[in-house]
Each structure stands twice: as C-alpha cells, then as structure tokens.
Amino acid sequence: MNVCIVGTGYVGLVTGVVFADLGNDVICVDKVQSKVDMLNAGVMPIYEPGLEELVSRNFAEDRLSFTTDIEDAVRRSEVIFIAVGTPPAADGSTDLSYVEAVAMDIAHAMNNYKVVVNKSTVPVGTGDFVRRTIEAHRKDGIPFDVVSNPEFLREGSAISDSMHPDRIVIGAPSRMVAMKLLELYAPLERPMVITDVTSSEMIKYASNAFLAVKITFANAIANICEEAGADVVQVTKGMGLDNRIGPSFLSAGIGYGGSCFPKDTLSLIQTAEQLGYDFEMLKATVRTNSAQPVRFVDRIKTVLGGLEGKTVAVLGLAFKGNTDDLRESKALEVVAALTDAGATVRAFDPVAMEPAKLLFPGVTYCKSAYEAVTGADAVAVVTEWNEFKHLNFERISSLLKGKIVFDGRNLYDPAQVRRNGLAYFGVGRPNHASEVCANGNGSKNGRSPVAAQLATA
C-alpha cells in the first residue's frame, strides 16, 4: 500500500518506518528541510533504540523516503496519516493549528479518494474538525474519509510497541473505511478495536489519563508510607499482584512527565469543562504530580541542612530512560529547584545532555555518573536509565564526599547501598528498618537520619 506520513517526530517517524518494514511504500513528510536532509543522510533527529537500523534498512530497500513536498506525497498515497505536534495552549486546551494546516494541504493536493488518518493525539471532535477543514478547501468535491487511529507508543520502546501493540484502535465512519486500515495493520496480527471516530479519540485520552492517575496514586501512597515508616515498593508489589490492579505504572517516584501524560491530562480536563463536567479527580492528579518533585527537593534540602553552597550530583535529565526527550521532565524540575536554592549541580545523562545545556548552561555536565558524584555532597538519581540501576556503590562511596544517596526512582536495594557506607533516601521508603522499628519516625536517639544510617551501615 502507498502510505504518506505527515510529521517525522516520535510518532510519525516510528509509524512510517514500521509500515515500511511491513512491506508498504512509505513517504514521510516534514516541513523542516534540515530535518529531512538529516533523515536522507541516515542521521536520526531523535534517540530511540532500534530506530536507526530500521530506517537504514528500509531506506536502502526503497520502501521509505523523506521529503518536504507534501503535495507530491499526498497525490502518490492512498492513506495519509497526520502525525504532527498538538502542543498545549496556555489554558491547557490542545493547539490544533498544525493539524489544521496539514488538513488544508491535503485538501489542496488531493487528486482522488483518500483516507485521512488522525494519528496525532487530538481531543474529541477533531475528526469532525479535520473533515470540515478538508471539505472547505478540496477541489471539485473529491471524496475522502477521516479516520481516528490513536498511537499508544512509549518512548524508549516505541519500535517494540509498534510491532507488538496491546491493541489497535480504529475509529471510522463506516466498516468499509475501517477495512482499509485493517488491511494495513493485518500483518501484525494484533487485537483490533473498531469504533466510531469520537469513541476512538476518547479511548486515547481516557487511557493516558488513567495511567497518569495510577502513577499519581502510587506516589500519594508513597508519601503516606514515608510518614508511616512503610516501604512503598513492598506495598505496590502487594497491590500489583491483584489481577484487578496489576503491577504496571505503580512505581513510585518524582512524578510523570514527557510529551503525553502532562498535556493529555490537561486537554481532557479542558474537554470535560467544555462539555459541562468538572473532572475534579483528574485536576487533583495534576496538582499532586506537580508537587512530587518539590517534595523530593525539599527532602534533599532538609537532609543536607540547606542547599546554599552544597554540590548535588544529578543522574538523569530525560523524562525517562532510553530517550533524549526533555519535555516536561521532572528531572529538569529537580535541577531547576536545586540551582534556585543555591546548590551547584553536577549532572550526567547518557544521551540528553546536549539539549539540556541550552536550558541550564550553569550546570556542570560530566562524562559519567562517577565523574558527576566526585566530591559532591549528595547524589540524586532521577531518571531510570539501565546503567544507573547497576552502579558500583563501593566506588560511589569512595568518590562521594557527602555519603548520601537520594533515589528518586526507587532503583536500589537500600540495604545494599547502606552496606557501602552510604545513607539512603528513597521515595516512600523508611530511612532505616531499625529506626522505624524503634520509634516509627525515622530518627534514633536524637540523631539525624543521616547520622543514624551511617552509624549502622
């Protein structure tokens, strides 16, 4: 099948290369000439494991091409996917200006029947908006249909998620139109959900909002655990073994970020308000998530006795591991709060340091985690990169002046960290098992939690 993908961000580029790998002829369109030139030269504009190899193979075999010429691409294609950005507006609603611009370009270029697919994350009603836009600008009444086909990719595992999706959702005006998409996705042999366009649009937002609520619930439980002396890792493990709950997205930490959950929750809140419903539960989720990195930094400040003049090593800058995406990164919020409070930050991230330098030029960027911790008063681990999960804490202890570890993602076994002469502070975890058993408040014999931990390590 001849396919056009408009937009070469995470969603568009991954979608295009996967369709090409399934044997289709795919044209990826982007209005930025430099980005198209990079892709034609085999240089990826984003970091995503496995992406470069797939692009290289399908480009070499002439199934995948890149262009700025949307008119030619539309004319040569049967199915056109809109995969452009849908950033939040100032009030939290979704900015559809890029979607509208592409719809107008498609309308002007159409030469015969086309299936136009909204792949971008868009609010309920966007399918009708795109249909009206094309109708207003098409020539000679050329027929078309608009379909909703939301993506459910996770950055860092987008290729695998595209090849092995939990489900494929197709919202179409008729069964006949849906069959075009069914044909395209058939080689994946995955469950398909066929709905009307509006329900498909709602499935995407409802899914992301629910996951955001689940993460935030785990973080709220973690905050209670800190006060009670319980261990949220054990608590969520016990919860997750219940089939009605499940373990996914129950890991406590410094909050969700990235390009999807923050903007999608705000957009759904706005959609609900426009329809006359006050989505108070989701508003509370957004508020709680915003407070989580603040709570984490406040704990660092309390333990260190203030941040003015202190040096903190920050491991991780991207919003999650296996990506260089800094959008809505809670790690960057931690960096900002530390520097605003007078701390010196030494940072390391495996792939996201170059874009971070533009945002925080005053931070010292290091070549490794071990260089970052050298001479620091404490280390804060805030992104769950695999290489951070296997740090040598004996070496960390020899390099870290302050002997204090703040684990913002609960990556480590506290006992193992403490055995190397380090004080450990996780999210929703007791300061030390013996201290909690003694009095339940994380202190012992009037000593600070750090002194007590180091004394018993």
Question: Three-state DSSP class for 393?
Answer: helix
What is the spatial distance between Cα 328 and Cα 143, in angstroms, rounded to a whole number? 40
What is the spatial distance between Cα 87 and Cα 327, in angstroms, rounded to a whole number? 11
Between the alpha carbon of residue 421 and those of residues 226, 307, 388, 400, 453, the distances in Å are: 22, 22, 18, 11, 9
What is the spatial distance between Cα 213 and Cα 237, in angstroms, rounded to a whole number? 17
Between the alpha carbon of residue 426 and those of residues 224, 257, 299, 347, 436, the distances in Å are: 13, 19, 10, 19, 14
Neighbours of 206 (CB within 10 A): 13
List, in order, residues 6 or more apart from 289 with CB less than 8 Å away. 212, 215, 216, 219, 255, 256, 262
Token pair 């426009």: residue: 274
Q: Looking at the DSSP assignment, which residues form a beta bridge with residue 331?
A: none
Query: What are the catalytic residues?
Result: 260
Alpha helices in 341-448 (DSSP H): 353-359, 369-373, 386-389, 393-399, 414-419, 433-439
**Residue 377 in contact with residue 393, Cβ under 8 Å?**
no
